[in-house]
Amino acid sequence: MSMDPHDQTRGDSTPFFSDDQPAPLSCNEAASLCLKAARGAGMSWGMAEEAGFAAAWLVSHGIDGPSYLRAHLERADGKDWDDLCPLVTPTTWRNTADQPVCPIILGVTLCDYADLPEGLRPNICIPLGFVSAPILLVPFLTELSLRNSLSITLSWPHGTMCIEGKESSFEAALHLLGTLQLDLTVSAKDAQPCRPNATSTPNAHTTAATVAALNSFAMRTTVPASAASRASAGSTLSDND
């Protein structure tokens, strides 16, 4: 993998990696790169920021969030993001375009609707349909669980997972939700208020190939150089006094 030293998508803190090396990124580096990649893939700036948050949150819990986001962006590439949204109704949040729902959009929407009649509340069960890269949903559900003192259960054919903001659940999340897509249902019940545990912030143990793929998406946010832009670069004035 080669990177131009003047690549404007890098930022000053993005490190260089060789193709045959693992690529450890800090949480901040992961958030910055994933934000730019999501924006380059066509997400709005707001949703791209949420994608960066989700990837960095997973990194902070020892999960390779950038690689899961990369897989999701590659799968969604070329599709209209409006077609990857859930249709929110009082009984179901399924996608109506026959597409798996984007976990970033779904997670943000679940948090936004938490205090509304259609939202996730105790003793409510919401069919979500197929969700792409479901592990990217975990950061949002954990935040919702902590904020509203909920025990949240994700269920799918042949599996369930309970999310209560506990560290012990994250290893299970990787094992159960680290897949391309799942047909999910979400439900909640009251739980005792709790505070998030203090956690270390390890680097993301991702790969140089993932960093290259995310940078490729991020490059779409830049404007290609042209003869006109090169001709206009710099000042036409002399600096002689």
pLDDT value at residue 170: 65
Residue 166 DSSP code: -
Report pLDDT for 219: 95
Query: In the predicted model, is pLDDT for residue 6 greater than 60?
Result: no
* d(C-alpha 196, C-alpha 170), whole Å: 13
Give Cβ neighbours of residue 192 (< 8 Å, ≥ 6 apart): 149
CA distance 189 to 121: 7
Lookup: tokens for 99? 């597409």
**pTM score of the predicted model:** 0.82
Give the confidence band of 158 by pLDDT, cuts at 50, 70, 90.
confident
Rounded to the nearest integer, the mean pLDDT of the chain is 83
Most confident of 85-99, 195-209, 214-228: 85-99
* Res 230: pLDDT: 54
pLDDT of residue 61: 85
